[in-house]
Chains A and B, each alone.
Chain A
Amino acid sequence: MTNLAIAAKGLRKSYGDKVVLNGIDLAVPEGTIFSLLGPNGAGKTTAVKILSTLTGADDGQIRVGGHDLAAEPQAVRAAIGVTGQFSAVDGLITGEENMLLMADLHHLSKREGRRVAAELLERFDLTAAAKKPAATYSGGMKRRLDIAMTLVGNPRIIFLDEPTTGLDPRSRHNMWEIVRELVSDGVTVFLTTQYLEEADELADRIAVLNDGRIAAEGTADELKRQIPGGHIRLRFTDPGTYQSAASAMRDITRDDEALSLQIPSDGSQRELRSILDWLDSVGIEADELTVHTPDLDDVFFALTGTGRTDQPKEGVR
């Protein structure tokens, strides 16, 4: 078994009566991307706060970077970098000054600090804005500066708490590129997100956190396999045709408002042909036919118990 960058057993945390984390186990191998996926309020940020030494756990054994978190918090801090949900930059000073501040706090020499700062500013496309106060940066720029600051100390384990929340699509894709680059350098990334697409894109392993418990864990494919969510969807524009089609078929899910029908299917060519043949034989002609293979949305909604309203993925975001 490879070394674990993050290992937690029986992690618990309550705030007053509210149980936020109810005994979760985590195992993140070195050099991988692990994604903690969950709806708002599931406890993702609390988990990051505990693993990054910001908040104490009520119970549980945690090792990060090979160090016991309770016994050697400073050793853990030396191994990690954290980019929180709200940008952790000093808005009153310039981007460059933020970088040099980090270099000083990592006790780099002046020359080394300047070199690292310039290099990272360049890498994250911030050189042009380096002399402007960070408060004037756009959301995407702030997030890039934030990550650049996290990288000054060359951390082996990086926590990214919802790194793309509130970013426009282009900035989001930039961020994904950045995360992939990090891992190619051998860094371990612990990422939280509420976007299924993001976890699917990036993560080697995904844990779905719901109500303080891990509802499921595995690779994106493993999770998708757990849920039978594949179907063929027929959409009609004429209510009359819709009604007659609906009454002619069994084992279907109706959506009267959208005038659409869902037929369960594994998405194979054979099954698709037999369905099409049968539709022809009974004389039903739909205005639109789509094949829907299970995605993480299905997994997510099935596991977190929120009823799935069948919308295209973009609509869920």
Chain B
Amino acid sequence: MSSFSLALRDSSTMLRRNLLHARRYPSMTLNLLLTPVMLLLLFVYVFGDVMSAGIDGGGPDRAKYIAYIVPGLLLMTTGSTTIGTAVSVSTDMNEGIIARFRTMAIHRPSVLVGHVIGSVLQCVMSVALVGAVAVAIGFRSSGAGVLEWVAAFGLLVLFATALTWIAVGMGLSSPNAEAASNNAMPLILLPLLSSTFVPVHSMPGWFRPVAEYQPFTPAIETLRGLLLGGHIGHNGWLAVVWCVGLAVLGYFWSTAKFNSDAK
């Protein structure tokens, strides 16, 4: 068997294993979905009027605010789903079965690739679920054609892949599940410090550059532009650069950690 088809076959085996885990124990994934859904409902129904009045300086308009925060919350959903990835990778590494995999003549990175692809699929499903809730409470994408939808989907997958590789690295660097969950906190904190809920220009001047150039904001602005037809500008390529950069960094970090000697 060529090394490529070996890699493909072993990776798909590992993917099946991870999907089996996710299917059999969905409570973790569902729990992680609660945060973005709760935030969506909280900000739309409790803070919605005030927030929207503050943003545009006009009157309160809850419907408009739904449109504003949904793109950010969809990306936050990938962030919170990948926390689950960090935890499950860390739990997995403490299982004897990983030691068994290491002593087998399999394509080694397939263990991680299985986790990553499984996690990206979970992200897509989670985003679809949160998106469904958003549509149910009144979100409509205005001005998104087929091309924009394809681009939005591509961005989502790319973003999820990037965060997942970072989460896998975090999981591998954490001694146990609790530590992994703590170490992965930035994945859900960063979207709070982005343009998810309020525009960056409404933040204090010293903080604006941080909020504007952290990985979430360019991706949120790009998604917002794609779904609602706003101006994307430099955010498009910034988002792609961030995603590729994080994915590559996470990949090398994770594989280096995984290939180092077992403890």
- A: which residues have CB within 8 A of B? 49, 52-56, 74-75, 77-78, 80-82, 84, 86-93, 97, 101, 104-107, 133, 146, 149-150, 153
Contacts and interface: CB of A to CB of B under 8 A. Distances in A.
B102 interface: yes
A185 B9 CA distance: 30
B13 A56 contact: no
Given A86-B96, A92-B21, A93-B20, A74 B261 contact: no
B80 to A, nearest CB: 21
A82 B100 CA distance: 7
B102 A101 contact: no
Interface in B98-133: 99-106
A90 B95 contact: yes
A90 B100 CA distance: 10
A84 B99 contact: yes
7 contacts: A84-B100, A86-B96, A88-B95, A92-B21, A93-B21, A97-B20, A105-B101
A53 B96 contact: no
B10 interface: yes
B105 A77 contact: yes
Interface of B: 1, 6, 9-10, 13, 16-17, 20-21, 24-25, 95-97, 99-106, 261-262
Contact of A88 (B1, B96, B106): B96
A149 B100 CA distance: 10
Contacts of B106: 105
Given A77-B105, A82-B103, A93-B24, 15 more contacts: A49-B262, A53-B102, A53-B103, A78-B105, A81-B103, A84-B96, A84-B99, A89-B96, A89-B97, A90-B17, A92-B20, A105-B104, A107-B9, A146-B96, A153-B104
Interface centre among B21, B24, B99, B100 (most CB of A within 10 A): B100
A77 B104 contact: yes
A101 B101 CA distance: 11
B262 A101 contact: no
A288 B235 CA distance: 91
B262 A55 contact: yes
B96 A105 contact: no
A-B pairs with lowest CB-CB distance, top 8: A88-B96, A88-B100, A78-B105, A77-B105, A104-B13, A82-B103, A86-B96, A90-B97
Given A89-B97, A93-B20, A52 B25 contact: no
B18 to A, nearest CB: 10
B10 A105 contact: yes
A36 B55 CA distance: 72
Contact of A80 (B25, B95, B103, B262): B103
Contacts of B96: 84, 86-89, 146
Contacts of B97: 88-90
A151 to B, nearest CB: 12
Contacts of B103: 52-54, 77, 80-82
A105 B110 CA distance: 10
B31 to A, nearest CB: 17
Nearest to B101: A105
A93 B18 CA distance: 10
A179 B146 CA distance: 63
Nearest to B25: A92
B139 to A, nearest CB: 36
